[in-house]
Amino acid sequence: MRPARALIDLDALRHNYRLARRLAGGKALAIVKADAYGHGAVACARALEAEADGFGVACIEEALELRAAGIAKPILLMEGCFEASELPLVVEHNLWTVVGSPEQLAAVEAFHASAPLNVWLLLDSGMHRLGLSPVAFRHAHARLAALAWVAPPVLMTHMARADELASTRTREQLDAFRQATAGLPGAVSVSNSAALLGWPEAHNDWARPGLMLYGADPLHGQTHAHREALRPVMTLEADVIATREIGIGEPVGYGARFIAERPTRVGVVAAGYADGYPQFAPNGTPVTIDGRPGCTIGRVSMDMLTVDLTDHPDATVGSTVQLWGTAPRVVELAEHCHTSAYRLVCGLKRIPHRYLHALPGQA
């Protein structure tokens, strides 16, 4: 069997969820879209179901996967329905749906649900992706209030730059949200992970933490009060499958991107870019080899990568190389490779997941 695995620490996931909920000071939807950011949506939702207030997903396919697995807590379709034919399924499976465009509002109005429909009304407070303009938002709120089968909507918006503590944009968006929703009844949902960690003034009845649940800090590199509080959930590791010694001036791997400047012991590791490790990780990208700091050398291949074992005399075939997890943290690796922690964890492929600390009956 190929010696590569992603260890998923469900205790750490629960710890991070509790932190998010505490920071929110209200309820928190655990965001498990994109297969729980590559961690496995069903396993993560099961691990959180006893304590989570609900879950957030990107589309009805993801919601139905959770319902089929027996997840009974509320599930919000954060982009709403993509076509009107999804609305009967929303009711049948007791889902919540966002209304964030004139088309989605018209579909809800044309749909006469038998059971109450839970709608989250999305304001575009300045991100200019999804959501209704302030005028359209208030108009839509009044139109939804006239529909007997629609429950009072949750008032929702999304922050574009909450991960930049020096930006004034979050405050501007919060002001726009306050103005647009002034006097309207209903619970409020504003914060993603970065807003929860960095912007306590972003008030929430319903926070929407995603990345932080998985132990990655969206504010990495900036000073904030919760830097040490998150526990990494995913550890990506693979074993050394071959070693060799090369002399000064000899290259390693495709493109000879590493040339030995000293007699060098090379370790070949069983994971590559087809598994989701960044292809253009530079020479010297940090890894942990049998618990000690090490680094990559040479270009990452599809199925393998190479590390410098010169200063790891005890490391040999079968040694474990941690590619991300506690060291390096996925945010550190992302920084080294000019990518994002979101993309790294969501990009995991082919690697089997091994779940640690599942609750009884959830393995």
- Lay out the site mask for ligand PLP across 71-110 (x = CB under 6 A, - = otherwise): -------x--------------------------------
**Member of 208, 299, 312, 329 binding ligand PLP (CB under 6 A):** 208
Write down the least CB distance from residue 342 to ligand PLP, Å. 7
Identify which of residues 198 and 298 has a Cβ nearer to ligand PLP in the complex: 198
Write down the least CB distance from residue 116 to ligand PLP, Å. 22
Which of the following is catalytic: 33, 37, 342, 355?
33
Stretch that binds ligand PLP, among 207-215, 288-296, 300-308, 309-317 (CB under 6 A): 207-215
Element (H, E) at 240: strand 234-246
Residue 199 token pair: 């912007």
DSSP 347: T
Identify which of residues 29 and 269 has a Cβ nearer to ligand PLP in the complex: 29
Contact of 205 with 296, CB cutoff 8 Å: no
**Member of 100, 209, 253, 286 binding ligand PLP (CB under 6 A):** 209
Rounded Cα distance, 218 and 221, in Å = 9
Identify which of residues 343 and 353 has a Cβ nearer to ligand PLP in the complex: 343
Which of the following is catalytic: 17, 27, 73, 254?
254
111: phi then psi, degrees, rounded to nearest 5? -105, 120
How much of the chain is helix, strand and coil, in % rounded to 5? 30, 25, 45
| Residue 218 within binding range of ligand PLP, rule CB under 6 A | yes
Contact of 125 with 161, CB cutoff 8 Å: no
| Residue 20 within binding range of ligand PLP, rule CB under 6 A | no
The amino acid occupying position 46 is: R
Stretch that binds ligand PLP, among 6-14, 144-152, 179-187, 204-212 (CB under 6 A): 204-212
Identify which of residues 222 and 316 has a Cβ nearer to ligand PLP in the complex: 222
Rounded Cα distance, 89 and 95, in Å = 8
User: Distance of alpha carbon 209 from its chain centroid, rounded?
Assistant: 8
**Member of 211, 240, 260, 289 binding ligand PLP (CB under 6 A):** 211
The DSSP result for 91-156, as a single string, is HHTT-EEEE-SHHHHHHHHH---SSPBEEEEEE-SS--SSSB-HHHHHHHHHHHHT-TTBPPPEEE
What are the residue ranges of helices labelled H in the chain? Answer: 10-24, 33-38, 41-48, 60-68, 87-92, 102-110, 134-145, 169-181, 193-198, 330-336, 341-346
- Lay out the site mask for ligand PLP across 148-167 (x = CB under 6 A, - = otherwise): ----------x---------
Write down the least CB distance from residue 100 to ligand PLP, Å. 9
Stretch that binds ligand PLP, among 107-115, 145-153, 186-194, 289-297 (CB under 6 A): 186-194
Within residues 37-66, the interface with ligand PLP by CB under 6 A covers: none
Is 33 one of the annotated active-site residues of the chain? yes
Write down the least CB distance from residue 194 to ligand PLP, Å. 6
Burial class (CB in 10 A: 0-12, 13-18, 19+), 84: middle
Is 27 one of the annotated active-site residues of the chain? no
Contact of 72 with 52, CB cutoff 8 Å: no
Residue 148 token pair: 């007997």
Closest residue to ligand PLP, judged by C-beta, is: 210
The amino acid occupying position 223 is: T
Residue 105 token pair: 């509002």
| Residue 21 within binding range of ligand PLP, rule CB under 6 A | no
**Member of 173, 192, 204, 310 binding ligand PLP (CB under 6 A):** 192
Judged by CB under 6 A, how many residues of this single chain contact ligand PLP?
12
| Residue 210 within binding range of ligand PLP, rule CB under 6 A | yes
Residues near ligand PLP (CB under 6 A): 31, 33, 78, 158, 192-194, 208-211, 218
Q: Which residues are catalytic?
A: 33, 254
